[in-house]
């Protein structure tokens, strides 16, 4: 009897899976970490950008935007993990055409991330729900009250690009009291000129260290009128084990700058 499993991924794509998943290639750094922490022996391939966990032992198959399709195929994975935003559709189509089962996630907010991760690990890979996922739900369900502030959050410069609506990172920040500007822009990652960013009614500047590595000397000088917070990009944009500590890490990074922003508001 054919024991092939027929499931549907986050995008509605049908995925044919073997009875047991024993070899996984991940094209998404956060999913790489999720699998490697939960069941290290399963991961056989990962991208050049997969930096966690430390000492990751997996064949490198290129970048998230340019994976080597032949290298992925040579690893004979039972499952390839992808994301509709981080990976290119032509690459995923090529992997599917080669006969590989590709599971694509679609993440727009925290609830989607937690549910998608649970489904991937428990239903698709058929592992027990990991402790870090339980801890992540608990950590985000018991947030302390925080002041509300308006902020801009660049993720690139030359040209300037900022976090916008309908993004995972925006939802995390919203839960921590931050409203991102421009709130009504139709793009999820608006490209705005520096004068346009200065014209927004922002109280705070948020600078993550990925995908562009903003630092204390690269970023704040372009917005001298705003208090700024340097944030961990991994805790802001990755959905995986880092979610369990993300509220504490992001909250610590925001606390001082948010306090300064609120004080300036009161003084004004």
Residues 154 and 121 in one domain: no
Q: Are residues 187 and 114 in the same domain?
A: no
Examine the domain organization and report whether 121 and 152 are in the same domain. Answer: no
Residues contacting residue 139 through CB under 8 Å, at least 6 positions apart: 243, 244, 245, 246, 247, 248
Quick: pLDDT tens for 136-165. Answer: 999 999 898 888 999 999 999 999 999 998
Structure confidence by residue, pLDDT tens digits, 21-75: 999 999 999 999 999 999 989 999 999 999 999 999 999 999 999 999 999 999 9
Residue 135 lies in a domain: no
| Residue 12, both tokens | 């509605």
Report how far residue 51's alpha carbon sits from residue 156's, in angstroms, rounded to the nearest whole number. 20
Give domain status of residue 191, yes or no: yes
**The domain boundary residue, chosen from 129, 154, 182:** 129
Residues 117 and 175 in one domain: no
Say whether both 117 and 159 belong to one domain: no
Whole-angstrom Cα distance, residue 35 to residue 47? 14
Q: Looking at the predicted structure, is the pLDDT value of residue 1 above 80?
A: no
> Which structural domain range is residue 18 located in?
5-129
Q: Give the CA-trace dihedral at 54, 60, 66, 67, to 10 degrees.
A: -120
Distance CA 262, CA 256 (A): 10
Domain harbouring 218, CATH code? 3.40.50.1980
pTM higher than 0.75: yes
Shared domain check, 111 and 47:
yes
């Amino acid at each position: 009897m054919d024991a092939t499993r027929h499931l549907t991924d986050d995008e509605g794509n049908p995925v044919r899976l073997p009875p047991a998943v024993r070899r996984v290639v991940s094209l998404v750094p956060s999913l790489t970490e999720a699998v490697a922490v939960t069941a290290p022996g399963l991961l056989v391939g990962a991208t050049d950008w997969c930096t966690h966990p430390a000492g990751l032992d997996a064949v490198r198959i290129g970048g998230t935007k340019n994976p080597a399709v032949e290298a992925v195929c040579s690893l004979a994975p039972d499952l390839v993990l992808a994301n509709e935003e981080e990976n290119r559709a032509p690459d995923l189509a090529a992997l599917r055409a080669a006969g590989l089962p590709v599971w694509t996630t679609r993440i727009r907010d925290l609830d989607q991330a937690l549910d998608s991760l649970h489904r991937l690990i428990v239903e698709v890979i058929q592992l027990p729900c990991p402790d870090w996922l339980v801890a992540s739900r608990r950590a985000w369900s018991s947030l302390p009250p925080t002041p509300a502030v308006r902020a801009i959050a660049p993720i690139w410069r030359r040209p300037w690009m900022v976090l916008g609506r309908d993004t995972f990172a925006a939802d995390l920040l919203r839960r921590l009291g931050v409203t991102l500007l421009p709130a009504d822009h139709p793009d999820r990652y608006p490209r705005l000129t520096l004068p346009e960013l200065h014209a927004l009614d922002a109280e705070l500047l948020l600078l993550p260290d990925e995908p562009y590595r903003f630092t204390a000397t690269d970023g704040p000088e372009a917005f001298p009128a705003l208090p700024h917070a340097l944030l961990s990009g991994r805790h802001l944009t990755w959905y995986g084990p880092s979610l369990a500590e993300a509220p504490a890490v992001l909250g610590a990074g925001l606390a001082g700058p948010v306090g300064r922003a609120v004080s300036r508001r009161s003084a004004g």
